[in-house]
Amino acid sequence: MYAIEVEHLSVSYFETTALEDVSLNILSGQLVGIIGPNGAGKSTFIKALMALIPAQAEKITLLGQTIDATRTQIAYVPQRSVIDWDFPIRVLDAVLIGCYPKLGLFKRPNKHHRAFASACLERVGMSEFADRQIGELSGGQQQRVFLARALAQEAELLLLDEPFVGVDVVSERVIIDLLRTLRDEGKTIIVVHHDLSKTADYFDELLLLNKTAIAYGRPEEVLQADTIEGAYGNPLAFLKKAEVSS
Ligand code: ADP
Ligand code: MG
């Protein structure tokens, strides 16, 4: 069963072509990294999957259905820079929002939902921050709260846009461990990650994107000098980064 099927996807913003003829199928139950240089269209790809921007495609399915049928089973965490962190909301309430699709219209969360949201916060190691304002947290802590919300949603498919940017080492560990656990539970997780270091260690499969899908497969297949050069322009750029990370 495919978690994601994409056939001939193209996206343009006025005169800029951000994606051109992207086709690929992603099997469910995998932890997949999307890599590529700045401006490669990684965020655009995720937004097109979620139907948040206009796109042309012959086919896009998520969990075997169109996005309209399956949206509540998908957790999307946008890039940090586009989230309004000053929005006044308590940490536990931010997690509770994940329960809303299950609540139905006009129903309010009850104590069971609150207990479940607390348990999700516990899983990301953020219980002690339940009553804080979200704007008071560090970048890594905020990212963990968003992950707790995805847990509360019991999403089958998670789309995370650069979750490790501006994140402390402890949070990065907590996040990657949790993503692996979720993968082992059968969820599909797609992570945009512009930094090539650690990709081979973190992900089951990689999509190398630069306007189009340059390579998709196991990290050792995708992280070849010629494919990297095709996307980044310079294979040494990758080698330098890989050295720094080890
Ligand atoms: P990435 O996430 O890989 O850095 P993006 O998907 O954000 O890349 O952007 C892909 C291309 O589309 C870039 O050239 C970017 O400048 C352009 N782009 C992205 N969003 C918009 C927008 N809202 N309006 C116009 N151009 C955009
Ligand atoms: Mg981006």
Mean pLDDT of 61-82: 91
Q: With 80 as the cut, is the pLDDT of residue 113 above it?
A: yes
* CB 44 near ligand 1, within 6 Å: yes
Boundaries of every domain in the chain: 2-245
CATH node for 2-245: 3.40.50.300
Integer angstrom CA distances of residue 147 from 126, 182, 198, 239: 11, 11, 20, 31
Q: Where would I find the beta strands (DSSP E) of the chain?
A: 2-13, 16-27, 31-35, 59-62, 74-77, 157-161, 188-192, 205-210, 212-217
pLDDT in tens, 97-110: 898 877 776 678 88
Q: What integer pLDDT is reported at residue 232 of this predicted model?
A: 80
Name the one residue in this structure whose structure tokens are 């051109």. 20
Q: What integer pLDDT is reported at residue 120 of this predicted model?
A: 96
pLDDT in tens, 196-222: 878 989 999 999 999 999 999 999 999
Looking at the whole model, is its pTM more than 0.75? yes
CA–centroid distance, residue 88 to ligand 1 (Å): 29
* CB 87 near ligand 1, within 6 Å: no
Q: With 60 as the cut, is the pLDDT of residue 45 above it?
A: yes
Nearest CA to ligand 1 atom 25: 13
* CB 78 near ligand 1, within 6 Å: no
Our mutation pick for probing the ligand 1 site, out of 10, 43, 208, counting the most ligand atoms within 8 A of Cβ, is 43
pLDDT in tens, 78-99: 887 666 667 789 999 999 989 8
In ligand 1, which atom is closest to the CA atom of 11? 12
The ligand that comes nearest to the alpha carbon of residue 40 is 1
Q: Residue 158, SS3?
A: strand
CA–centroid distance, residue 128 to ligand 1 (Å): 37
In ligand 1, which atom is closest to the CA atom of 209? 3
In ligand 1, which atom is closest to the CA atom of 45? 6
Q: What integer pLDDT is reported at residue 243 of this predicted model?
A: 47
Nearest CA to ligand 1 atom 7: 43
Name the band, by pLDDT with cuts 50, 70 and 90, for residue 234: low
What is the residue-wise DSSP string for 52-110? Answer: SS--B-SEEEETTB-HHHHGGGEEEE--GGGS-TTS--BHHHHHHGGGHHHH-TTPPP-
Q: What does the mean pLDDT of the chain come to?
A: 90
Greatest mean pLDDT among 25-29, 78-82, 97-101, 139-143 lies in 25-29
Nearest CA to ligand 1 atom 23: 13
